[in-house]
Amino acid sequence: MGGQRTALVTGGGSGIGRAIALRLAADGFATAVLDLDAAAAERVAAEAGDKGYRAAAFGGADVSDRAQVDVVVQRVRDTFGPVAVLVNNAGLSGFKKFMNITDDLWDRILAVNLSGPFYCAQAVVPGMEEAGWGRIVNISSSSAQSGQQLMTHYVASKAGLIGWTKALALELGPKGITVNTIPPGFIDTPMLRDSADGGMLGASVDDIAALTPVRRAGTPEDIAAACAFLASEEAGYVTGQVIGVNGGRNT
């Protein structure tokens, strides 16, 4: 396994994170699946292992807690070696009328969606700098491009992630580290279905998909494919970019 690079995927236990973890493992990365839900992380790591890929679960870590992040990144390093690819996918969503957003909810959304990527990047960048090579991919949201009612807290956090991506890319580029963001648009996940069932989208998943230029909802694998490119050797001249994967809903 000499020379095998390590990928760390946060929120890797389900949905988009699971698809990214499995794709990076298939592409030859030793893949660390980090998720607050330890059982979910174990399932994805086992799924990768059953396919003959090298993966391990790192469950129970909250990315909004710097101390926990530092501990889990060291565990990943001890298991696989320094992190070469970081995918900041862990996030919190939710719908709430603006005037009903409490300080605690606002702080929690920002802590997970914005501070989490900050803590994770600070934990892994020294190893990337030492290697002279690194890839950071931040999973943001197309709602940060278009806006979304009842999600001002979420949209603010994801818009911040996009701006942070652009600034960090400028700083880390000379060190051989690229930083990009993928804002997914209308991806068919259990979370999306729950939102639709709760009437939060204003229409059914199928109705909205029919209005999408490519006439379908996205899949977690669509996001994973874009992430796999950004994590590759070939993407070394792509940095600071917002790579929309949304079927043409945002351009």
* Residues acting as catalytic residues: 154
Q: Which residues contact 128 (CB under 8 A, 6 or more apart)?
A: 82, 83, 84, 134, 172, 175, 176, 177
Look up residue 161 and give its amino acid.
L
Give me the helix-helix angle, 15-26 and 38-50, nearest 10°: 30
Structure tokens at 173: 């580029």
Give me the helix-helix angle, 220-230 and 15-26, nearest 10°: 50
